[in-house]
Structure 1
Amino acid sequence: MTHLKSIGLTLACLIGSAAFAAEKPNIIYILADDLGYGDVQALNPEHGKIPTPGMDRLAKEGMVFTDAHSSSSVCTPTRYGVLTGRYNWRTYKQSGVLFGFDQPLIAPDRLTVAGLLKKQGYNTAIVGKWHLGLGLVDPKGKPTRGQRAAVDGVDWSARITGGPVDLGFDSWYGISASLDMPPYIWIKDDQFVGKCTTTKAFHRKGPAHADFEAIDVLDEIGNKSAQFIQTQSADQPFFLYVPLTSPHAPIIPTDEWKGKSKLGLYGDFVMHTDAVVARITEAVDKAGLAENTMIIVTSDNGCSKVADIPALKEMGHFPNGKYRGSKSDIWDGGHRVPFIVRWPAGVKAGSSSDEVICLTDLMATSAELSGATLPANAGEDSVSFAPALKGKPIESARKGVVHHSVSGQFAYREGKWKLLLAKGSGGWTREKMGVDAPMQLYNMEVDPEEQNNLYHSHPEIVERLITQLESDVKRGRSTAGPDQKNDTGKINIRRGVRQ
């Protein structure tokens, strides 16, 4: 009977995949930068004071995931997970982020979501911020690193290797990293658009193109994304990845948006960000592609302290909702993110899901929706959330989701239980802890604010979750399939544990 049941489940999965594959939806993945869960008014009706009509509309017309998480609480690691379906800590990048002149983090032979979909006949494009390293060289042909290129210089005419167009994307228009990291210059596909002939500082000083202004970038991303959509045909599916630069610092809304939120520049910048989301949505609608286009809006981590969270709260706005912590932390405020999906052909309007998902799950979901089969050495930490789009439970061999802080400290979420292998936030938040314990264990069903540490009262759960996390690390994957090798053997899940 077990064998027959297994065959039945396999056939059901195949039939389900075939049904999705027959449609091959267009996929637009909008990744905001430092947008908190509570910044979207539809997700935070009581304490969300910033108007976000663009994202609210998508929530009304689609599905909201209430328990979605970035794989890291900071930028670069999350982006690695989005595009590869694999946790960043399986690479050498165990903490922190890359800078604009750093070398590529994604290995040249690693399959990305773009590469997967390109093989399925998709037109693949990225418009916006990369922040995963590029193969830049100095005038002597040596690879650039960190911020040294601001001193040593860059060969602005050399082909840029290891970027989006070498990793499955047909085209790219965007910038190297965050808007507070040089170089300040546009990139088209694998070439800089001109040369950096001057120096500017949008927080960090560095090489800049004379005509580049940070305040223009967000609208340009929206315009270029809309232009791409307008050129698409219903005869070929497309994947458009739109990593925005906002509302990350520098917080610079245009004059059109200044003062609109009544909550200061951060509130204005969130409204500006929302308007760009609306611009992209309108482009899809005007192109007549709405029915079979899946628009996903999410964020790479929680709201940053740069937004002045205490001041926002005084005005009644809680940018990370009720969740503890903020960007950088392994408390949920650092990595619980907005996740909205509109897809008229495949998602019921006004629906929601409380399934625990991770941004690494784009890879497996894209495979299922496009009818592709993931190879064993790809998407090792990715689970398809396609069933949830139909209101069905997600069934997977992945037992839990791993969270990771800016300092490289770990947390593990399984169902209602969340274990933090750290005494504090693991990030930039400094708060006094109520219970004197080396780790933290929370029941997220009754304590989503992570206030009641149950470490001492449930040792058996602590031990079980640690064992599962150790297994996920050792196996090189957290999903079903043959064991894979991590890129490094120096993965210390207990680096935040007070001995």
Structure 2
Amino acid sequence: MAQSTPEKPNIIYILADDMGYGDIKKLNKNSQVKTPNLDKLAAKGAIFTNAHSGSAVCTPTRYGVLTGRYAFRTSLKKGVLNGFSPALIEPSRFTVADLAKQAGYQTAIIGKWHLGLDWTPLDPSKRAIAPSKETPDISNVNFEVPLTVGPNQVGFDYSYIIPASLDMPPYTYLENGKPTSLPLVPFQGKNNPRGVFWRSGPASKDFVIEETLDVFIGRAKDYLAKASTGDQPFFLYLPLTSPHTPWLPSNKFKNKSGAGTYGDFVMHTDDAVGKIMKTLDSLGIAKNTLVIFTSDNGADWKPGDATAFPLHQANYIFRGEKSDIWEGGHHVPFLLRWPAVVKPNQKIAQLTCLTDLMATIADFTKQNLPEGAGPDSYSLYPMISGKNNQNRPDIIHHSIDGMFAIRKGKWKFIDGKGSGGWSMKTGKPEDPEGQLYQMDIDEKETTNLYTKYPEVVKELKALLEKHKQQGYSNR
């Protein structure tokens, strides 16, 4: 059995893709989606009610999870990568997987990567994939040999991934850096009905897009069965492909929710998490396995979805949606279960960021981080172990278009007009140059106090610039 101890529990980090805070019944009693497995996970551990992704979109949040560093500090200043983008995590960058290995863990990623990959060229004198806004030319990629930079080069012993989101080519599983099935052939995209969307591009002949979530859960169960028999604890990073587009619930869940195809896919996601939890029980390792479930950003729940299903608030009461600097873009569900340490039915209201995984693992495994590692990471361990209510003093938010905000105490300052994302890109001409909300009484961000409290604006703007310029925010 995996040799876990209270200092070195097994760790499973489940990252949903585009799931909103309001989707989970335990967090939103009015959710029109049944989520019994996530409700059970929440009841048996801690609910963090003020948790935030490092960005309002996929790639930058994932960078932050694995490095403890805000992604705006990289070359990616806005938007996300695609399935052909080069690796974003620098080979020299210390990652959570490196940290776990240093502590004696076996490490694995199974699921969606979306952090760029460096492929091996057939002709070394040329780039494997030339930059292109259209479908890139992959004729110079040597698919027969492993990636030069991928998960296995940044700390993971084992990897079984798709390169990016499930609506982005190439559509192929990569096991330890190599496609599991060749050759890649053209695959036709789709964009109808709402949410059933993927782009055209190359795919393995046997890639069945509807089965991806279940394939990853099956692989994860197999990995857990094997890892639990070894003499090391394990760290499994499990970034799911759901409920991001394409919304493809299995037949078991079709037409079962009160939130359309999206809600059905959330139910499928809940079931997937349940299968992982049942596997831990059947293997007898649940007690000392730390399970974290969260989401990379808010839900892609547009005004048309809210009109079609008015009783469901995927992003709860929060303003905006995925991509936005407003709370709907980055205020995410965060559930943590660790029966050996964490008491059930806890609610933790302290400010939390998904960059905090690195400092948390370093804390309970009693490791010092290397110089420069995890510069935006704070440990959650004092809170979950009951030692103290040490609080993260502030957090930086970042939108798809590169707009910044900073939260400190009750105040949230947004350095610009509008949402910085899909909801309201630019704001109104008559709006003030920035936004200030008192979050303890205005979680919905309805009353802009920017002109009323200029001294607060000045202080927070200066703090934001300080954190941006100095390269760290945790000391």
Tell me which interval the TM-score lies in, with the shorter structure as reference length: over 0.9
CA distance in 2: counterparts of 1:104 and 1:441, whole angstroms: 36
Residue-by-residue CA offset, 1:384-440 (whole Å, 9 max, x unaligned): 0111113455436x6310000000110000011000111100100028669721100
CA gap of 1:423–1:344, structure 2 versus 1, over 3 A, is same
Aligned counterpart, 1:310: 306
Aligned counterpart, 1:366: 361
Residue-by-residue CA offset, 1:163-213 (whole Å, 9 max, x unaligned): 111111110011000111111111001211122431113421111111001
Tell me which moved more, 439-448 or 191-200: 191-200
Aligned counterpart, 2:180: 193
Aligned counterpart, 1:11: none
Residue-by-residue CA offset, 1:64-123 (whole Å, 9 max, x unaligned): 000000000000000000000000011110000000011000000111000101010001
Q: Between the two proteins, what is the percent identity of the paired residues?
A: 47
Amino acid corresponding to residue 382 of structure 2 in structure 1: P
**Counterparts of 1:23-38 in structure 2 under 5 Å?**
23-38=7-22
Unaligned runs of 5+ in 1: 1-19, 481-499
Q: Indicate which of 367, 370, 378 corresponds to 2:373.
A: 378
Task: Report the 3-state secondary structure (helix = DSSP H, G, I; strand = E; otherwise coil) of the residue aligned with 1:174.
Answer: strand
Aligned counterpart, 1:143: 128
Q: Indicate which of 282, 290, 296 corresponds to 1:294.
A: 290
Tell me the CA shift for residue 21 of structure 1: 7.8
Asked whether the 8 Å contact 1:309–1:319 carries over to 2, the reply is no
Asked whether the 8 Å contact 1:329–1:425 carries over to 2, the reply is yes
Task: Report the 3-state secondary structure (helix = DSSP H, G, I; strand = E; otherwise coil) of the residue aligned with 2:137.
Answer: helix
Amino acid corresponding to residue 416 of structure 1 in structure 2: K
Asked whether the 8 Å contact 2:86–2:116 carries over to 1, the reply is yes
CA distance in 1: counterparts of 2:287 and 2:429, whole angstroms: 50
Amino acid corresponding to residue 233 of structure 1 in structure 2: T
CA gap of 1:40–1:120, structure 2 versus 1, over 3 A, is same
Aligned counterpart, 1:101: 84
Aligned counterpart, 2:441: 446
Asked whether the 8 Å contact 2:405–2:412 carries over to 1, the reply is yes
Task: Report the 3-state secondary structure (helix = DSSP H, G, I; strand = E; otherwise coil) of the residue aligned with 1:95.
Answer: coil
Tell me the CA shift for residue 152 of structure 1: 4.0
- Are 1:61 and 2:44 matched, yes or no? yes
CA gap of 1:36–1:404, structure 2 versus 1, over 3 A, is same
- Are 1:405 and 2:388 matched, yes or no? no
Tell me which moved more, 68-77 or 229-238: 229-238
Tell me the CA shift for residue 287 of structure 1: 0.7
Asked whether the 8 Å contact 2:111–2:240 carries over to 1, the reply is yes
Asked whether the 8 Å contact 2:258–2:309 carries over to 1, the reply is no
Unaligned runs of 5+ in 2: 190-197
Task: Report the 3-state secondary structure (helix = DSSP H, G, I; strand = E; otherwise coil) of the residue aligned with 1:115.
Answer: helix
Asked whether the 8 Å contact 1:29–1:295 carries over to 2, the reply is yes
Task: Report the 3-state secondary structure (helix = DSSP H, G, I; strand = E; otherwise coil) of the residue aligned with 1:463.
Answer: helix
Q: Indicate which of 244, 248, 255 corresponds to 1:248.
A: 244
Q: Indicate which of 270, 274, 278 corresponds to 2:270.
A: 274
- Are 1:177 and 2:164 matched, yes or no? yes
Tell me the CA shift for residue 305 of structure 1: 3.8
The number of equivalent residue pairs is 458
**Counterparts of 1:10-25 in structure 2 under 5 Å?**
23-25=7-9
Asked whether the 8 Å contact 1:385–1:394 carries over to 2, the reply is no
Tell me the CA shift for residue 260 of structure 1: 1.5
- Are 1:352 and 2:352 matched, yes or no? no
CA gap of 1:30–1:307, structure 2 versus 1, over 3 A, is farther
Asked whether the 8 Å contact 1:32–1:246 carries over to 2, the reply is yes
- Are 1:283 and 2:266 matched, yes or no? no
CA RMSD of aligned residues (A): 1.9
Tell me the CA shift for residue 462 of structure 1: 0.6
Residue-by-residue CA offset, 1:106-152 (whole Å, 9 max, x unaligned): 00011100010101000100100000000124543423245666434
| TM-score (normalised: structure 1) | 0.88
